[in-house]
């Protein structure tokens, strides 16, 4: 083995900074001129500053692929029943790591992946919009924790980010910036995707950015995953045309398979009838496949059943039909992403770059998501926090009535928690459970034809998302600069697993020994095959946690991979030992104070304004946290327009988010309010037409003390309609699904037959403003 690489590995594995600084750093101070200046060119000796790093000869391209919300047993590459031929190909010609771990939720996983440090060390202890005034939670990723893009760019790489970034602090995600923590200022030459607080988005009409500018909607109606793949190919084509010998790094994180599960009928139809046997049978078959593939030990049994998980046999015929189709939609969604990634792989073959490309595929940024609970319909679809959720029977009836619409642009599909449990086979619980393997254990594929001896091999070494960066650095022969952009770098905290990639077989000892996990005050610690859990946060019950207690649990993962035999009472001294280890790790990596899932610091609320002036033409005014703190408040929407020549039709305001929609508009001369949320919709029409000339139109939305919301319409301060529309009015304009409040137009589907998409305001807009009431 190369001695230089061995030295890098040893340094990384004990948490020291990988040594070495490229001579030609792009952000170096102006160097001392070493030539000679005469009065003429003939009398001068030129010398050129070395400011562009050069990659080593033959350095490989690198692609990181990060899939969202996908359980260990989801894809065919890891024994699941969702067909993923591209992932299968990469696994068959690469390596599958079956003991790879994430942080259990999206933003922390990305913070750790991109920096090679633990997520609290990178200040993202929870979501990037859920800040708290402590170093582990303030969401401001330190510039001293250089990203993989900053590292590889200083090693002579071009760098691209596509898809879900989720590492920009939400407070910086508006058009006012600052932009120093957006992707293009954290080492990426180009960025195309979701930014800010966006954790999920409409696949048919995504809100995307190109670098720091909003990208228009796609006139061809292509889904986000197709647009992402097209852009990835374009970036690579441009780069290789300009400099064929320069390697590139591509971070491809499409957001699939985060809800909403949206795809085309052709992909959904491929799975027609495939899941009719239900989630219990899925889990049995998947475990059998995993044993056959060698991904889990022979004799492994299904785990202890998650509390409150329904047995498939106990469901009604209608429930079975709805739930089976929900899984068909999800499977089609995942398979389409696999196909699009296959287009990218095929392109690399076409340009003769595939054999010199390292491809790392993390099949999930956490375990499968169970927020769909019993029905597969998100609780977020009931927008009035005071209202009762729709009944299970009503939801099932509605899903059944609209079953053929699931996946289209007017749907917001998810699936029942039963499928989350099944696709997490053979592990317990779900995304968000940092203490259980079902929340943190994902499949990992490493493909690198020039660096892998045992193609199709399986590696069982314990690995963590923070380890991917030092592994990539080692495999590419790169170094981590001591200083990046003038900032002295903190030590890399991950451990390179290049030793396992380069090994001729799996007979090699783990080099990572300890890893902590924490989310929402529940925590766990892994050490040399043992894991202790401390499930403290009882507020985390909306995911129906089965272990609502503060009792520690102990598992010997080396022989009990799915945490089925609790040994805490048998070995209390081991629990005490591991708790001490956790406390040491927590103090070292900014984990304290433990922040409960539901806790919000009142002092951290952003933008306590009462009045918002919206300037016509602004495209991004609802990116979180622009309206943070408006939740549950009554509000007024004002429009001042100029109507000329009798042209009165058009959209004043529209809102799309988490399956809800409302719009204020003019049609056939009358002023309307339309609202759709959950299973209900309402329409209010003004009692008189809108006059010509300068007109002031206002809508007051008042949350009633009881159940419901009163919407009142005004034309020039005269009330022309008022109605209680129930509990479906959005209570906040902020959404982690992207900026969805629009002025003078509809973005995406209108959900309203009165408005043709795209709905554009015809009269001239003079003023728009929002007033928040107490």
Which residue, among 665, 658, 694, 639, has the nearest Cα to 755 in the 3D structure? 665
- Residue 162 in domain: yes
Give the separation between CA 70 and CA 174, rounded to whole angstroms. 29
Give the separation between CA 397 and CA 679, rounded to whole angstroms. 10
CATH code assigned at 468 = 3.40.720.10
Give the separation between CA 458 and CA 97, rounded to whole angstroms. 6
In a shared domain, residues 457 and 425: yes
Among candidate residues 508, 528, 551, the one where a domain is terminated: 508
Structure tokens at 412: 């917001």
In a shared domain, residues 169 and 142: yes
In a shared domain, residues 229 and 362: yes
- Residue 380 in domain: no
Specify the residue for token string 């007024």: 636
| Boundaries of domain holding 92 | 61-306+328-370+419-508
Give the separation between CA 314 and CA 305, rounded to whole angstroms. 15
- Residue 388 in domain: no
Q: Give me the pLDDT at residue 615, please.
A: 79
Segments of the chain with pLDDT less than 50? 1-22, 379-389, 538, 540-547
- Residue 314 in domain: no
- Residue 400 in domain: no
Q: What is the DSSP string of 301-333?
A: -PPPPPTTPPPGGGS-HHHHHHHHHHHHHHHHH
Give the separation between CA 664 and CA 53, rounded to whole angstroms. 55
Q: Could you tell me the strand order of the sheet in which 530-534 lies?
A: 514-519, 522-527, 530-534, 553-556
Contact (CB, 8 A) for 545 and 497 = no
Specify the residue for token string 């020994």: 513
Contact (CB, 8 A) for 190 and 235 = yes
- Residue 12 in domain: no
In a shared domain, residues 469 and 526: no
In a shared domain, residues 153 and 209: yes
Among candidate residues 508, 528, 554, the one where a domain is terminated: 508
**H, E, C per residue of 84-146:** CHHHHHHHHCCEEEEEEECCCCHHHHHHHHHHCCCCCCCCCCCCCCCCCCCCCCCCCCCCCCC
In a shared domain, residues 623 and 527: no
Give the separation between CA 619 and CA 71, rounded to whole angstroms. 36
Q: Give me the pLDDT at residue 321, please.
A: 97
In a shared domain, residues 576 and 621: no
Contact (CB, 8 A) for 555 and 528 = no
DSSP 604: G
CATH code assigned at 543 = 3.30.1120.10
**By three-state DSSP, how is residue 714 classified?**
strand
In a shared domain, residues 640 and 567: no
DSSP 466: G
In a shared domain, residues 133 and 244: yes
Among candidate residues 508, 529, 556, the one where a domain is terminated: 508
pLDDT tens-place string over residues 726-773 = 766 665 555 555 556 788 878 777 778 888 766 667 667 788 888 888
Contact (CB, 8 A) for 770 and 635 = yes
- Residue 360 in domain: yes
- Residue 48 in domain: no
Contact (CB, 8 A) for 158 and 128 = no
In a shared domain, residues 504 and 551: no
Q: Is 563 exposed, middle or buried (0-12, 13-18, 19+ CB in 10 A)?
A: buried
Which residue, among 753, 756, 749, has the nearest Cα to 407 in the 3D structure? 749
Q: How many domains does the chain have?
A: 3
Which residue, among 640, 726, 730, 754, has the nearest Cα to 690 in the 3D structure? 640
Which residue, among 331, 438, 448, has the nearest Cα to 64 in the 3D structure? 448
In a shared domain, residues 578 and 626: no
Structure tokens at 168: 């920009």
Q: Give me the pLDDT at residue 604, please.
A: 64
In a shared domain, residues 533 and 447: no
Instruction: End-to-end CA distance of the chain: give it in Å, rounded.
Output: 68
CATH code assigned at 653 = 2.60.120.200
DSSP 188: -
């Amino acid at each position: 083995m190369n001695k230089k690489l061995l030295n890098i590995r040893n340094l990384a594995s004990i948490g020291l900074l990988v040594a070495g600084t490229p001579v030609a750093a792009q952000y170096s101070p102006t160097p001392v001129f070493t030539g000679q200046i005469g009065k003429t060119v003939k009398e001068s000796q030129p010398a050129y500053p070395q400011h562009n790093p050069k990659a080593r000869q033959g350095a490989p391209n690198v692609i990181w692929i990060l899939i969202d919300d996908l359980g260990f047993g989801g894809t065919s590459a890891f024994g699941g029943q969702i067909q993923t031929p591209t992932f299968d190909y990469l696994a068959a010609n690469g390596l599958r790591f079956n003991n790879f771990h994430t942080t259990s939720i999206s933003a922390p996983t990305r913070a750790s992946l991109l920096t090679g440090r633990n997520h609290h060390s990178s200040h993202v202890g929870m979501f990037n919009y859920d800040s708290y005034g402590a170093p582990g939670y303030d969401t401001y990723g330190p510039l001293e924790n250089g990203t993989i893009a900053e590292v590889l760019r200083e090693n002579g790489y071009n760098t691209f980010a596509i898809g879900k970034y989720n590492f920009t602090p939400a407070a910086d995600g508006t058009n006012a910036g600052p932009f120093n923590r957006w992707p293009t200022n954290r080492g990426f030459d180009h960025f195309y995707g979701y930014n800010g607080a966006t954790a999920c988005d409409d696949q048919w009409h995504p809100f995307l950015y190109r670098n720091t500018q909003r990208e228009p909607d796609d006139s061809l109606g292509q889904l986000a995953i197709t647009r992402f793949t097209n852009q990835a190919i374009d970036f690579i084509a441009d780069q290789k045309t300009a400099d064929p010998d320069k390697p590139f790094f591509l971070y491809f994180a499409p957001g699939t398979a985060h809800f909403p599960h949206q795809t085309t009928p052709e992909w959904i139809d491929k799975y027609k009838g495939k899941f009719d046997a239900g989630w219990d049978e899925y889990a049995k078959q998947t475990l059998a496949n995993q044993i056959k593939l060698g991904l889990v030990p022979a004799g492994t049994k299904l785990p202890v059943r998650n509390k409150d998980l329904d047995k498939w046999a106990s469901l009604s015929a209608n429930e079975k039909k709805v739930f089976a189709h929900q899984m068909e939609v999800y499977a089609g969604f995942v398979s389409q992403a696999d196909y699009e990634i296959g287009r990218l792989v095929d392109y690399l073959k076409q340009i003769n770059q595939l054999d010199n490309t390292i491809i790392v595929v993390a099949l999930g940024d956490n375990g499968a998501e169970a927020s769909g609970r019993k029905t597969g319909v998100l609780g977020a679809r009931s927008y009035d926090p005071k209202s009762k959720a729709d009944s299970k029977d009503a939801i099932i009836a509605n899903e059944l009535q609209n079953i053929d619409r699931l996946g289209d642009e007017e749907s917001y599909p998810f699936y029942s928690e039963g499928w989350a449990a099944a696709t997490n086979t053979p592990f317990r619980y779900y995304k968000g459970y940092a203490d259980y393997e079902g929340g943190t254990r994902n499949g990992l594929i490493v493909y690198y034809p020039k660096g892998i001896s045992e193609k199709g091999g399986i590696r069982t070494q314990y690995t963590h998302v923070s380890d991917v960066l030092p592994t990539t650095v080692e495999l590419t022969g790169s170094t981590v600069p001591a200083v990046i952009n003038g900032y002295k770098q903190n030590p890399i905290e991950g451990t390179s697993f290049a030793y396992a990639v380069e090994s001729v077989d799996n007979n090699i000892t783990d080099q990572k020994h300890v890893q902590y996990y924490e989310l929402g005050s529940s925590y766990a610690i892994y050490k040399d095959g043992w894991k202790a859990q401390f499930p403290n946060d009882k507020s985390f019950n909306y995911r129906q946690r089965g272990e609502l207690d503060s009792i520690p649990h102990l598992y010997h993962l080396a022989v009990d991979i799915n945490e089925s035999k609790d040994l805490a009472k048998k070995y209390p001294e081991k629990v005490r030992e591991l708790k001490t280890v956790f406390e040491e790790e927590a103090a070292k990596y900014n984990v304290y104070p433990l922040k409960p899932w539901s806790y919000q610091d009142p002092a951290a609320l952003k933008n306590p304004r009462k009045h918002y002036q919206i300037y016509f033409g602004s495209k991004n005014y609802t990116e979180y946290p622009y309206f943070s703190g408006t939740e549950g408040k009554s509000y007024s929407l004002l429009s001042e327009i100029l109507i000329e020549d009798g042209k009165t039709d058009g959209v004043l305001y529209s809102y799309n988010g988490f399956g809800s929609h409302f719009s204020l508009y003019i049609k056939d001369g009358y002023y309307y309010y339309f609202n759709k949320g959950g299973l209900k919709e309402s329409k209010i029409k003004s009692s008189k037409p809108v006059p010509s000339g300068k007109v002031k139109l206002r809508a007051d939305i008042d949350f009633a003390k009881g159940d419901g919301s009163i919407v009142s319409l005004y034309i020039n301060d005269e009330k022309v309609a008022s109605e209680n529309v129930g509990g479906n009015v959005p209570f906040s304009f902020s959404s982690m699904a992207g900026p969805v409040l629009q002025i003078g137009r509809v973005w995406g589907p209108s959900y309203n037959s009165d408005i043709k998409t795209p709905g554009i305001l015809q009269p001239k807009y003079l003023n728009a403003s929002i007033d928040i009431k107490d």
